[in-house]
Amino acid sequence: MTLLFKLLLLEDVSTGELLLVLLGVFLLFGPSKIPEIAKGLAKGINDLKKATQDIRDEVSENIDPIKKEIQNSVDTLKNSLNSDEIDPQKQNLKPEDKKKDFSG
């Protein structure tokens, strides 16, 4: 209930004030319209939840192949760095030169 108050900026509403607002809604719309209003509000909230879940699913669906591709690239790079193959360009380097970073 506190989350609803924060969303509606009603943090300082007391129980009496809330009952007064509910009484005003009851008098304004009448007992026959309140269930219709509640159903419409609930339907709107459910539609919003469904839309956000659809967006999450779509984003996740599109990100998963990219994650897999990046992970495969990282694994390939790790395997090539850990392999026992000697790079022909590095064979002529002195041991102290192999430790230096020539990347710039």
99 inside domain: no
Q: Is there a contact between 13 and 5 (Cβ–Cβ < 8 Å)?
A: yes
Mean pLDDT of 96-103: 56
Q: Which of 2, 21, 24, 26 is nearest to 12 (CA)?
A: 2
Residue 62 within a domain: yes
47 confidence band (pLDDT: 50, 70, 90): very high
Residue 49 and residue 41: Cα distance in Å, rounded? 12
Residue 60 lies in a domain: yes
Tens digits of per-residue pLDDT, 62-95?
898 899 999 999 998 888 877 755 555 555 555 6
The residue range of the domain holding 68 is: 32-81
Kindly state whether residue 86 falls inside one of the protein's structural domains. no
Choose among 50, 28, 49, 47: nearest CA to 39: 47
Total domains in the fold of the chain: 1
Does residue 77 lie in a domain region?
yes
Q: Is residue 9 part of a domain?
A: no
For residue 56, the Cα-to-chain-centroid distance in whole angstroms is 7
Answer for the pair 56, 64: CB distance below 8 angstroms, yes or no.
no
The owner of tokens 């007064």 is 20
Residue 68 lies in a domain: yes
Q: Is residue 89 assigned to a domain?
A: no
Whole-model pTM?
A: 0.45
> Residue 37 has which token pair?
């209003």
In this prediction, residue 32 carries a pLDDT of: 86
- Where does the pLDDT of residue 16 fall: very low under 50, low under 70, confident under 90, or very high at 90 and above? confident
